[in-house]
Amino acid sequence: MKCNNCGNEIKPGDKFCTACGSAITSNQEVNNSVINTEPETKTIEQTPDEELIKAYIGKNYEKISQKSFSLPAFFLTSIYLLYRKLYIYTLILIIGSIVLSFIPLISLISSLLISIVLGLKFNEIYLEEVKRKVEIIKLENKTATKEELLDICSKKGGTNIVAPIIAIATVFILIVLLILFFVAIIRTSIDKTDEMRDIFKEYIESGEVYDQFDENNGNTEDEEEETPSNNEDNYSSNVTDQKLISISYLALNNKINAKESFILVLSQTTCPHCADYKPKFDKVLSKYNIEAYSLEIDLLKPEERNELSNKIAFQGTPTTLFFENGEEKDQTKRIIGNASEDMIIERLKELGYINQEEIPTNNTSA
């Protein structure tokens, strides 16, 4: 405090100036008191929270503090949380999304609900989180100046573009790995299917399947078998030579191109009617020493099946066709379905594969 008359320094409590003797008025004390308190007022107002919050948030402070709905939070959800350095909230959001995905019905709309809630509440949540962190910064840096506090808030706040990029790259890599994993599983399944098909095809071509059919039907055939006459030895029902031979698609094409005459049975390994028909047909063929070929269409490659369908029009299996000089004799003469032995014999007779005198007859006695 100084004297108004001479400017001499006056000690607190003096009533007169020690230099000029002027009386110290109460107004002078008040003015000096105001002068003395001004620096303290400046110290209190030099680091207001608003400036620190603004420094922490960055250039989008006005948008975040004034808008009630956040479009970035609505569309980007967890990516935007990472961008704003809200790592704990991001983790909570991801865990919550995973949990909700296992709840029926809610899982269908959980993503939309999360986006709406984030859009409505993000700015409010973010501002509260910023205020909390600013208070922590102030407590940890009590002796720091205003410029130092602003610099600390600016560095600890702001945004982090690296975190969302890493997150997106990680998700992309995981998706690629999952795709490769499932592709490997599918390819393994296809390879195993092809291997089983080749094994089954070899089994069919070996003729063992027909021997098993004969063994399974042996008891029934024995019961239905009638004693043949002496001149019918060549037509015994106990014929073991297989006359229905499995053929590949390539071999079939070669026969057609070579203009050969032959009998062809179209069948499938999974067809129960085929399984019942082929042993009966083979039995008739063996009786009359006729040779025929069987093609399993379900074992063909897709391109082979398409090519076969273009060459031979058929509705189902089993279907028996009769070729002459590489072409089908008459489509109306086909044996379609699981025909009986009598019908097979009748059709073979009709097409000239069996002569009338070759048909065995049972001797009857009165």
Residue 283: the pLDDT is 93
Q: Is the confidence at residue 17, as pLDDT, over 60?
A: yes
Please state the domain extents for the chain: 1-45, 49-160, 162-205, 207-217+239-356
What helix, strand, coil percent values describe the chain, rounded to 5? Answer: 65, 10, 30
Residue 248 banded pLDDT, cuts 50, 70, 90? very high
Distance in angstroms (rounded) separating the CA atoms of residues 178 and 181? 5
Residue 34: the pLDDT is 42
Q: Is the confidence at residue 104, as pLDDT, over 90?
A: no
Residue 361 banded pLDDT, cuts 50, 70, 90? very low
Reading the block at residue 123, the tokens are 């700015």
3-state secondary structure 201-237: HHHHHHCHHHHHHHHHCHHHHHHHCCCCCHHHHHHCC
Q: Return the SS3 of 12.
A: coil
215-240 burial, b at 16+ Cβ within 10 Å, e below that, comes to eeeeeeeeeeeeebeeebeebebebe
Per-residue pLDDT reduced to its tens digit, 331-359: 899 999 999 999 999 999 999 899 865 55
Per-residue pLDDT reduced to its tens digit, 128-142: 999 999 999 999 999
Rounded-to-10 torsion of CA 305, 307, 309, 311: -140
Residue 28: the pLDDT is 55
Residue 356: the pLDDT is 65
Residue 48: the pLDDT is 67
Residue 201: the pLDDT is 62
Q: Supply the pTM of this predicted model.
A: 0.42
Per-residue pLDDT reduced to its tens digit, 37-62: 444 443 434 346 899 999 999 988 98
DSSP string, 307-357: HHHHHS---SSSEEEEEETTEES-GGG-EESS--HHHHHHHHHHTTSS-GG
- Which residue's entry shows tokens 């939070």? 73
Residue 337: the pLDDT is 92
Residue 26: the pLDDT is 57
Query: What residue type is 324 in one-letter code?
Result: E
CATH number for the domain running over 207-217+239-356: 3.40.30.10
Q: Is the confidence at residue 244, as pLDDT, over 80?
A: yes
